[in-house]
Structure 1
Amino acid sequence: MSPRRSYDQYCSAARALDVVGDRWTLLIVRELFAGPRRYTDLHADLPGVSTDVLASRLKDMERDGIATRRRLPPPGAAYVYELTPRGRRLLPVLRALGEWGADDLGERRPTDAVRAHWFALPLLGALEGEGLVEVRLEEGDFHLHVGRDEEPLYGDGPAPAEPDARLLLSAATCTAVARGETTLADAVREGRITVTGDGTLAKALREG
């Protein structure tokens, strides 16, 4: 494990960047808000990161108390990484960074990778209430645990149980919501989002 580099500044922002300022660290945190993840899953959902860098960052995150590694009980018996309470306190940081960076999304570049669940945090910030929401994009499906402040906040694939609402929309509409160009309610009224389901969240979105 390499020694942690430091800005050597007596400033809370500098101290925070000592811990999470390295390339890939906050994106690993983003992935871990989906709950415990295997190393192979993290590597698959962080295109561009080398195996050496990912392993190094995970060790650093364990050392700094952001993440922990544990072995699943049989029949899984695999090692997974998950956020600690200190790591989960980074949620407002990620949300603020996402809001700040939304204006820079622009048009998707040919070299840009995309995973459907990368839209999870912006949509969570736009949804009110509490419940399970399934989101369907052309890029894939994911689900959201709305109204929760602890992991998992979201997950890949269809909802694990009958959701309170299902949303069918495009990545372009997700981007517009993230950038504040439209609200979920307006996008539903305009026909850019199709809402199905009988739960409170579905009814609120249709009536909003």
Structure 2
Amino acid sequence: MGSSYYQFCPVAKAMELLDERWTLLIVRELVTGTEHFNELRRGVPRMSPTLLSKRLQQLVRAGIAERRSEGHQVRYVLTPAGHELRPVVEALSVWGIRWIGELGDADLDPKLLMWDMHRRIDHDVVPAGRTVVRFVFSDVAANACHWWLVITAAEADVCDVDPGFDVTVTVSASLRHMVEIWRGDLEWTAALRSGAVAVQGPETLRRAVPDWFTLPPFASVPRPAYGLPQG
């Protein structure tokens, strides 16, 4: 746990645990249902495995999460205290999308975008069988601009190398525009109409692509015409 604020205030005591770098983002991943170490790493792709392990141990010691071993599998699950952080994470998400609007180029991470999109697929409307959505990001380095979502009836996988399956549709866009769509800053229909996003494939599938993904809850949060001043 981090250094103490030496205040009896419950906000201070809570932040002694939660304001350490990455800690609340790990809680965010646990709140979404991610339980395994390697999957947690994909939700915080710029965090070192060593630091992730350390932060998880701190959350376990603090009674926020529980480490469960099942054979060779290890899971991290929220305790009742951890589950009570869900509205905190949700409130921060709403506040952040409403008031912190500016994104720097370094904030745009294709790994995180693809990981978040893969867990918000509406399997009920994706075509039966295997559906492969290829993403090509025009503003990302050549070694990281191609991504594939492989979707089946019950699950989806994210690939940063060609999985070797026939591609159903290809989505071409800048990473920034795709992030803006995912955050709710830009509507799919407007992006397609303007050419900011292009979808290649059979016409019926091209039209259906936006419906395959359920935007995060914060995407629908109303935004003011102004945000906090950026330093």
- TM-score normalised to the size of structure 2? 0.52
Paired residue for 1:83?
A: 78
Contact 1:7/1:18 (8 A) holds in 2: yes
* Structure 1: stretches of 5+ with no match in the other structure: 125-129, 143-156
C-alpha distance in structure 2 between counterparts of 1:162 and 1:141, whole Å: 14
* Runs of at least 5 residues in structure 2 that lack an aligned partner in the other structure: 127-132, 137-145, 157-168, 215-231
CA RMSD of aligned residues (A): 4.4
Partner letter of residue 174 of structure 1?
Answer: M
Q: CA 1:10–1:141 in structure 2 vs 1: closer, same or farther (change >3 Å)?
A: farther
- CA–CA distance in structure 2, aligned partners of residues 48 and 57 of structure 1: 14
SS of corresponding position for 1:80:
strand
Alignment partner of 1:202 is 2:211 = yes
On the 8 A contact 2:42/2:115 being kept in 1, the answer is: no
**One-letter code of the match for 1:78?**
Q
Matches within 5 A, 1:180-199: 181-191=185-195, 192=197, 194=199, 196=205
Q: Which of 136, 140, 149 does residue 147 from structure 2 map onto?
A: 140
User: What is the aligned partner in structure 2 of residue 147 from structure 1?
Assistant: none
Matched AA of 1:190? S
CA distance in 1, matches of 2:198, 2:9: 44
Structure 1 residues 1-208: aligned runs within 5 Å: 5-43=3-41, 46-72=44-70, 77-84=72-79, 85-96=83-94, 98-99=96-97, 100-103=99-102, 105-108=103-106, 114-117=110-113, 120=116, 131-132=122-123, 137-138=135-136, 140-141=147-148, 158=151, 160-161=153-154, 168=171, 170=173, 171-177=175-181, 181-191=185-195, 192=197, 194=199, 196=205, 202=211
Q: 1:119 to 1:108 in 2, by over 3 A?
A: farther
SS in structure 2 opposite 1:7? coil
- Counterparts of 1:176 and 1:28 in 2: how far apart (Å)? 23
Describe the shift of the 1:62–1:106 C-alpha distance in structure 2 as closer, same or farther (beyond 3 A): same
Query: Percent sequence identity over matched residues?
Result: 28
TM superposition shift of 1:80: 1.6
What is the DSSP-based 3-state SS (H/G/I as helix, E as strand, rest coil) of the residue aligned with 2:47?
coil
Equivalent-residue separation in structure 1 for 2:27 and 2:134 (angstroms): 23
Q: Which has the larger radius of gyration?
A: 2
Structure 1 counterpart of 2:66, one-letter code: T
Letter in 2 for 1:158: I
Displacement after TM superposition at 1:25 (Å): 0.7
Q: CA deviation at 1:44?
A: 5.7
Q: Is the 8 A contact 1:167 1:196 kept in 2?
A: no
User: What is the one-letter code of the residue matched to 2:73?
Assistant: A
Give the direction of change, closer, same or farther, for the CA distance of 1:54–1:169 in structure 2 (3 Å limit). same
Q: 1:158 Cα shift? A: 3.1
Please report the TM-score for the alignment, with normalisation by the length of structure 1. 0.57
One-letter identity of the residue aligned with 1:202: D
